[in-house]
Structure 1
Amino acid sequence: MNKKEVYDTFAQLEKDATATLEQLQKMKHEVELLMESNTALSIENQHLRDRLAELEKQEQLNKEMSTPEMSQSRLNLEKIYEEGFHVCNVFYGSRRVEDEPCAFCIDVIYGERK
């Protein structure tokens, strides 16, 4: 090998090494971004799990403290009442003006359950 070939070989190796180094730096930067994103998502995921557990605990407490379920017929009356109609025997079927409450209707829906 003559001097020129040796020099050209070193020059080519230097170019290749520089290109490889640039690729490694780019890949390192991408891995750093992925790790940051992964950490942020892991933290968010843990917060969501904690919140879900809190909501489930609250829902369980609400179920334990709530009154017994209403019958299907009372649920239907409640739905009609919420849609703005009277369900009491005094004004049955008429529209409640500006959705004003009606003591008779409330008594029919939520009154003494037998």
Structure 2
Amino acid sequence: MDRERLFTHISKLEADMNHMYEELQTLKELSVRLVEENVSLQMEKDNYEQLLAKEESEKAKSFKQNTLNNLYDEGFHVCSIHFGTHRHGEDCLFCQGFLQHRNN
């Protein structure tokens, strides 16, 4: 191999290596952006799941509260002293206090 071909070959290899290095840098930047986006999406997902769990918990609490209110409105005790027995049209201060406390 003559000197000129050798230098041409080395120059070509150097240019190829520079091009590969630039491609590697581009790939590295893209990877960083993807990791950052993934972290952001994971945080958003976690926040959404917490919000959803909170809403479901509030719905369950509301359902329980409405059930107790409905039982009392139908004429049954909801206080711990006489729970489930009929009130026979009379108001119960224990039930009313319990429901008022649960509503607050």
Same fold (TM over 0.5): yes
Residue equivalent to 2:64 = 64
Q: What CA distance in whole angstroms lies between the structure 2 residues aligned with 1:32 and 1:3?
A: 43
Structure 1 CA distance, aligned partners of 2:42 and 2:10?
Answer: 47
Query: 1:41 aligned to 2:41?
Result: yes
What code does the residue aligned with 1:32 have?
A: V
Give the letter aligned to residue 14 of structure 2.
Answer: E
- Consecutive unaligned residues of structure 2, counting only runs of 5 or more, are 71-104
- Tell me which stretches of 4 or more aligned residues in structure 1 moved more than 4 Å: none
- Distance in 2 (CA, whole Å) between partners of 1:39 and 1:61 is 33
- Return the alpha-carbon distance in structure 1 between the equivalents of residues 7 and 65 of structure 2: 86
Deviation string, structure 1 residues 76-113 (Cα, Å, up to 9, x no partner): xxxxxxxxxxxxxxxxxxxxxxxxxxxxxxxxxxxxxx
Q: Secondary structure at the match of 2:52?
A: helix
User: How many residues are paired up?
Assistant: 68
Q: CA deviation at 1:16?
A: 0.3
Q: Distance in 2 between matches of 1:12 and 1:49?
A: 55
Deviation at 1:52, TM superposition (A): 0.6
Give 2:10's aligned residue: 10
- Separation in structure 2 between the aligned mates of residue 38 and residue 59 of structure 1, nearest angstrom: 31
TM-score, normalised with respect to structure 1: 0.58
Aligned-residue offset at 1:3: 0.6
Residue type of the alignment partner of 1:33: R
Task: Report the Cα distance in structure 1 between the residues aligned to 2:48 and 2:32, rounded to whole angstroms.
Answer: 24
Match of 1:78 in 2: none
Instruction: Report % sequence identity.
Output: 24
Where does 1:91-110 land on structure 2 (aligned, <5 Å)? Answer: none
Q: CA RMSD in A?
A: 0.8
Provide the residue aligned with 1:31 in structure 2: 31
Structure 1 residue runs without a partner (length 5+):
69-114
> 2: distance between equivalents of 1:10 and 1:43?
49
Partners of 2:57 and 2:49 lie apart in 1 by 12
